[in-house]
Chain A
Amino acid sequence: MRAGSLIKVLLVSLVFAALATAVAIFIPWLPDQSSKEAERIDFVFWFVTAICIAIFAVVAAISVYSLFKFRARPDDDSDGPPIHGHTGIEIAWTAIPLVLVIAMIIVSSVALAQNDRVPDNALRVEVWGQQFAWTFLYPPSGKVPGEDEMACVERDAGRIVDGCKASPNLRLPVDRSTRLYLSSRDVIHSFWVPEFRQKQDAVPGITTEITITPTETGSYRLICTELCGLGHALMRTRAIVTSAADFERWVSSRTTPGGMS
């Protein structure tokens, strides 16, 4: 590669990098960031975006440059120079992506590990999906849902255990971690609040878990993202984040239902 074309390609790459960065910045990509987990996920998102913009810019610049530069004249029947390869370049474009990939793996793994932590003071809530509604169950203190056992619902009977409080929308206190224990009464559903980023399938027969630490009070869309049948698009409710005091007041005002609708 001649030095002249190298500089031209670099300049074109910078143009493409600027364009891609503009697309990344000026389009409102991510929804509001309302949880600690969202902050970490968004960090990974922008980290990967930066790497991808760099790769995209180089690739786009080389393609566009060669398209204009190496277009054959209409009556040109000649062949190009017989270049069969270049070991140095081939090693470079194997090694550089490898390094970038390892960097992304490390950053992702760290964020994932942090988002999976359960602090000791975490609030514990059971989430049950069924066609086509969510039920959120708040166990009394002392009862902890575990890997196999849900604290609030007897799997076989489908009955809600005494002392548990049920709600059709998710209420969470702000600035405190909540561990959600999810399961389903029929088919697979998936729990998602875009502002929290965290998503987890609710699978019949097993208990799945995620942590959410809301950082902003407010009311958010809570939607099912796993196709679950005819009413899948309508399986929506709200996640309502309030101050700790309001949350305690709300919990104590809930009555304890005897069965699950």
Chain B
Amino acid sequence: MTAVQDHTEEHDVHAPPPRRRTGLWRLLAPGWLRAIWMTALFGALGVGLVVGIRASAGWRPIIDWEPIITAAFLTAAPIGFLAGIGAFDYWLRWAFGFPTQPEDHSGHGAKRWTDYFRINTDHKVIGVQYVVTTVFFFLAGGMLAMLVRAELARPESDFVDSQTYNELFTAHAALMIFLFVIPAFAGLANYVLPIMIGAPDMAFPRLNALSYWLLPIAGTMMLTSFFFPGFGAGWTNYAPLSVDQPFGNVFFSMAVQWAGASSIMTALNFLVTIITMRAPGMTFWRMPLLVWANFTTSLLVVIATPFIAGSQFFVMFDRVMHTNFFDVVNGGYPLGYQHIFWFYSHPAVYIMMLPGFGIASEVISSMSRKPIFGYRLMALSLVAILILGFSVWAHHMFVAGMAPWLRIPMMITTLLIAVPTGIKVFSWLATTWEGRINFATPMLWALGFVSMFVIGGLSGIFLGAVPIDIATSDTYFVVAHIHYVLLGGSLFTIFAGFYYWFPKMTGRMYNETLGKVHFWMTFLAFNATFFPMHIIGVQGQPRRVYTYEDQFSEWNIFISISSFVLGASFIVFIYNMIVSWARGPRAPANPWRANTLEWQVSSPPPTFNFDEIPQVVGNPYEYGVPGAKHAILNGDREAATETATEEVRR
């Protein structure tokens, strides 16, 4: 820890900023100008490479757009962009033996708004970059959902054609999962987690910057897929259908690689940060539950994500390189795709839920003014979900035609997950019991999450029981279930986190009235939209259809109208965030009177978080315990030692 401490103390005296380059030299400085020409250059090199290989090997036609776009525009050009914006500068200088630039921390902190648009190694700036980018993709994905509901408002096909419809719901899911829920949690944790454990930054700040910049690349690919034309095989992208899809499908396959690489880098960064950079005294059993949640999530990410990368590479190879992973005639095995895909994508459900559990624990404890109930069991149930989460993937395949006996063990593990999840729900409720509950907006979202997640969890039990799953699989019942879990669960906790840490991140307070309006509008419209889907699902409306029987038309028009209200509720959110960020009242350091470390520093925190690494002396949720302290900051050390000795004496 001494090394870290010395490092931090230096920062009061900043090294002089690097000399500004002028004229044509600016083209060589890391930034957007260099990114533009390097993207073009790498794209051109990619085209040249593919055409050159094809010409020299005598393959006809020489200009074949599928491999050209895959290699040049989905692989080489993004690398050029990353190199141009400056993501690799330090490493490349080091690798090629050039003198590395001494770390002057000019890449740390944001003094102007333009600092958010360049490579920045400050975890707080990166956290804000993540959050703003993911909100953008959330709005894009939400617009797609509005178009889906517009088509489904009437039974007949009257708004978009079949291909467009398939592309709409596919891109909706892909954006929400890969560009919103997963990175939004990563962004929030990026901001608060290092402060929570008393660290000046993440373990690998340059890797952190790189993992952020991979996201806009993945998102741009998913959005541009519509023009090629899009991919419409569902976000699950099941083979062999995905292999026959229009070319946009490769955009998905590659976007998943970029987003997945970003996830893995961030997860590694979190793991190393949590393991090695905790402040003195911050033992594992003193870590806030958000840190526990991101620790377990990161383990899920690093172990599982390579599987979806593999599954998408196989699909892409089948298309672009004419391999036979899923081509039955040549010995391919379509069910293999599903096994590999779900080996990631079921743990991904927990990747999208465990950080939310962490946020809910923070908010519910501090807003109930009570210690979290059963802290150790809360942490251990995260670990139980982590382990069980890897043993349930085939419950997505109960009707898929895999070995029938495999359904029983998968059902057992699936239903067993209800136990640790139930422990968490009951513990949150017990935490509010006899508390002094402050119903500020973050608390509304956190409690809204608990209640919606209970419904999503119970419908999950229906789907986990094989006989019921056989009847309801691939119907709107499943659509209802995933939205209760991912919208009522993940999204609600993300909003709890956004509102809870908004004062910390921006230094300003959001508007409480608008926050409450947003919550109630979303909460009611969400239930009106998704609860009826359980009913039409059980009654027999399959998912992923653009037209349906007249018997479902009444519920569907009701669902569509509710969904438009749900969509409109986010306008309130955006308005509140923008106006409050610009003109909201200044936030105090600790508006929620919370104990965790991020609230013990100013809002927003100083560039390196702490003037001096704090000394952790107790648990993070000791509300109501007389004289309890989580940590000692800034020279309070002697005073604290005195108090401690005094207490011992007493």
Q: Which A residues form the contact surface with B (CB < 8 A)?
A: 1, 27-31, 38, 40-41, 44-45, 48-49, 51-52, 55-56, 59-60, 62-63, 66-67, 70-72, 76-86, 89-90, 93-94, 97-98, 101, 104-105, 107-109, 111-112, 115-116, 182, 186-188, 190, 192, 194, 197-206, 208, 221, 223-234
A108 in contact with B411 given A82-B371, A227-B234 (CB within 8 Å): yes
* 27 sampled A-B residue pairs with Cβ under 8 A: A31-B538, A44-B465, A49-B462, A55-B458, A62-B429, A70-B433, A80-B369, A80-B436, A82-B628, A83-B430, A84-B371, A84-B375, A89-B430, A90-B374, A98-B419, A105-B465, A108-B465, A109-B466, A112-B466, A116-B404, A188-B238, A200-B399, A206-B401, A225-B475, A227-B544, A229-B244, A233-B547
Q: Besides A44-B467, A60-B451, 6 other CB < 8 A contacts?
A: A80-B370, A85-B374, A90-B423, A187-B244, A203-B400, A205-B334
0/1 string, B521-556, CB within 8 A of A gives 1 = 000000000000001001110111111110000000
CB distance from B434 to the nearest CB of A (A): 6
Provide the B459-478 mask, 1 if CB < 8 A to any CB of A, else 0. Answer: 00110011110110111000
The answer to whether A101 and B415 touch across the interface, beta carbons within 8 angstroms, is yes
Residue of B with least CB distance to A185: B328
B131 to chain A, nearest CB (A): 29
**In the complex, what's the smallest C-beta–C-beta distance from B153 to chain A, in angstroms?**
15
Contact A186-B240, Cβ < 8 Å, known A85-B373, A101-B419, A205-B328? yes
Residue from A66, A78, A98, A201 within 8 A of B437 (CB atoms) = A66
A227→B238 contact, CB < 8 A = yes
Determine how close the nearest CB of chain B comes to the CB of A184; give it in whole angstroms: 9
Decide yes or no whether B205 CB sits under 8 A from chain A. Answer: no
CB-CB under 8 A from A85, the residues of chain B are 373-377
CB-CB under 8 A from A108, the residues of chain B are 411, 465-468
Select the residue from A29, A62, A97, A221 with max chain B CB neighbours within 10 A: A97
Tell whether, in the assembled complex, residue B411 and residue A200 are in contact, meaning their CB atoms are under 8 Å apart. Answer: no
Q: In the complex, what residue of chain B is closest to A52 when comparing beta carbons?
A: B458
User: Does residue B241 face the partner (Cβ distance < 8 Å to A)?
Assistant: yes
B378-392 CB contact bits vs A (8 Å, 1 = yes)? 000000000000000
* CA of A63 to CA of B233, assembled, Å: 41
Of B101-109, B187-195, B254-262, B618-626, the stretch lying at the interface with chain A is B618-626
Chain B residues within 8 Å of A, Cβ to Cβ: 157, 162-163, 166, 233-234, 238, 240-241, 244, 328, 332-335, 368-371, 373-377, 399-401, 404, 407-408, 411-412, 415-416, 418-419, 422-423, 425-427, 429-430, 432-439, 447, 450-451, 454-455, 458, 461-462, 465-468, 470-471, 473-475, 535, 538-540, 542-549, 593, 622-625, 628
Determine whether the beta carbon of A70 is less than 8 Å from that of B400. no
Q: Roughly how many angstroms separate A254 CA and B546 CA in the complex, as a whole number?
A: 34
- Residues of A within 8 Å of B412, CB to CB, are 105
Residues A30 and B436 in contact, CB atoms below 8 Å apart: no
Q: Which residues of the partner chain A approach B426 to less than 8 Å between Cβ atoms?
A: 59, 93
What CA separation (Å) do A24 and B116 show in the bound complex? 52
Question: Given the complex, which residues of B lie within 8 Å of A229, measured CB to CB?
Answer: 241, 244
Are A83 and B461 in touch, CB under 8 angstroms?
no
Inter-chain contact B540/A204, CB cutoff 8 Å: no
Contact A231 B162, beta carbon cutoff 8 Å: yes
Residues of B within 8 A of A208 (CB): 401
B241 touches A52 (CB 8 A): no
Bound: A186/B241 CA distance, A: 8
Contacts of A228 in B (CB 8 A): 241
Smallest CB gap from B435: residue in A: A80
Instruction: Tell whether, in the assembled complex, residue B425 and residue A70 are in contact, meaning their CB atoms are under 8 Å apart.
Output: no
> What is the minimal beta-carbon distance from A6 to any residue of chain B, in angstroms?
11
| B-side contacts of A201, CB under 8 Å | 399-401
Chain B residues in 8 Å Cβ range of A40: 467
B386 CB to closest chain A CB (Å) equals 17
User: A52 touches which one: B425, B451, B461 (CB < 8 A)?
Assistant: B461
B540 & A94 in contact (Cβ 8 Å cutoff): no
List residues of chain B with CB within 8 A of the CB of A226.
238, 474
With A79-B624, A227-B233, A227-B241: A233-B162 Cβ-Cβ less than 8 Å: yes
Q: Which residue of B lies closest to A61 (CB)?
A: B429
- CB atoms of B468 and A82 under 8 A apart: no
Q: Are A204 and B240 in contact (CB under 8 A)?
A: yes
- A85 closest partner in B (C-beta): B374
Q: How far apart sit A76 and B624, CA to CA, in the bound complex (Å)?
A: 13
Residues of A within 8 A of B465 (CB): 44, 48, 104-105, 107-108
User: Which residues of A have CB within 8 Å of B376?
Assistant: 85
Residue pair A72, B436 in contact (C-beta under 8 Å): yes
Q: Identify the closest chain B residue to A45 (Cβ).
A: B468
Q: Which 5 A-B pairs have the closest CB atoms?
A: A79-B624, A194-B540, A205-B328, A233-B545, A208-B401
Measured between C-beta atoms, what is the minimum distance from A37 to chain B in Å?
Answer: 8
CB-nearest residue of chain A relative to B161?
A230
Tell me the complex Cα distance, A41–B332, Å: 34
Cα distance, A72 to B241, chains bound together (Å): 56
Q: How far is the CA of A89 from the CA of B431 in the complex (A)?
A: 13
Q: A48-B462, A66-B435, A225-B542 are in contact. Are A84 and B548 (CB under 8 A)?
A: no
List A contacts of B543 (CB < 8 A). Answer: 225
Please state if A190 and B240 are interface contacts (CB–CB under 8 Å): no
CB pair B407 A93 closer than 8 Å: no
What distance in Å separates the Cβ of A164 from its nearest Cβ neighbour in chain B?
21
A83 proximity list for chain B (CB < 8 A): 370-371, 373, 430, 433-434
Q: Could you say which residues of chain B place their CB within 8 Å of the CB of A104?
A: 415, 461, 465
* Contact A67 B546, beta carbon cutoff 8 Å: no
If A44-B465, A66-B437, A82-B370 touch, does A233 touch B548 (CB 8 Å cutoff)?
yes
Residue of A nearest to B593 (CB): A77
Partner of A76, one of B429, B436, B439: B436
The answer to whether B166 touches A227, judged by C-beta atoms less than 8 angstroms apart, is yes
Query: Which residue in chain A gives the minimum CB-CB distance to B465?
Result: A108
How far is it, in angstroms, between the C-alpha of A63 and the C-alpha of B444 when the chains are bound? 12
Residues from chain B with a CB closer than 8 A to the CB of A48 are 461-462, 465, 468
Q: Which residues of B contact A221 (CB under 8 A)?
A: 540, 549
Distance between Cα atoms of A196 and B374 in the complex (Å): 46
Contact partner of B540 (CB less than 8 A), chosen from A31, A59, A84, A200, is A31
The interface centre, meaning the residue of B240, B407, B426, B624 with most chain A CB atoms within 10 A of its CB, is B426
Q: Taking CB as reference atom, which chain B residue is nearest A49? A: B462
Q: Which of A41, A90, A94 contacts B470 (CB 8 A)?
A: A41
Partner of A66, one of B375, B429, B471, B623: B429
Q: Which residue of B lies closest to A65 (CB)?
A: B433
When chains A and B are docked, how far (Å) is the Cα of A29 from the Cα of B540? Answer: 10
Closest B residue to A47 using CB positions: B465
Q: Is the pair A199, B539 in contact by a Cβ cutoff of 8 Å?
A: no
Complex formed: what's the CA distance from A119 to B333 in Å?
31
The residue of chain A having its C-beta at the shortest distance from the C-beta of B328 within the complex is A205
Q: In whole angstroms, what is the CA distance A80 to B474 when docked? A: 46
Cβ B535 vs Cβ A29 within 8 A: yes
- B401 to A203, Cβ gap below 8 A? yes
Chain A neighbourhood of B408, CB < 8 A: 109, 112
A1 → chain B closest CB, angstroms: 8
Most buried by B among A45, A60, A227: A227
Q: Are A63 and B450 in contact (CB under 8 A)?
A: yes
Q: Which residues of A contact B539 (CB under 8 A)?
A: 28-31, 194
Q: How far is the CA of A79 from the CA of B594 in the complex (A)?
A: 11
- Other-chain residue from B436, B473, B628 in contact with A78 (beta carbon distance below 8 A): B436
A105 to B425, CA, bound (A): 22
CA distance A51 to B459 in the complex (A): 12
Contact A81 B624 (CB under 8 A): yes
Residues of B within 8 A of A60 (CB): 451, 454
Pick from B328, B425, B437, B462: contact of A67, CB below 8 A: B437
Instruction: Check if A59 sits within 8 Å of B429, measured CB to CB.
Output: yes
Residue of B nearest to A55 (CB): B458
B439 contact from A51, A56, A71, Cβ within 8 A: A71
Bound CA span A41–B455, Å: 21
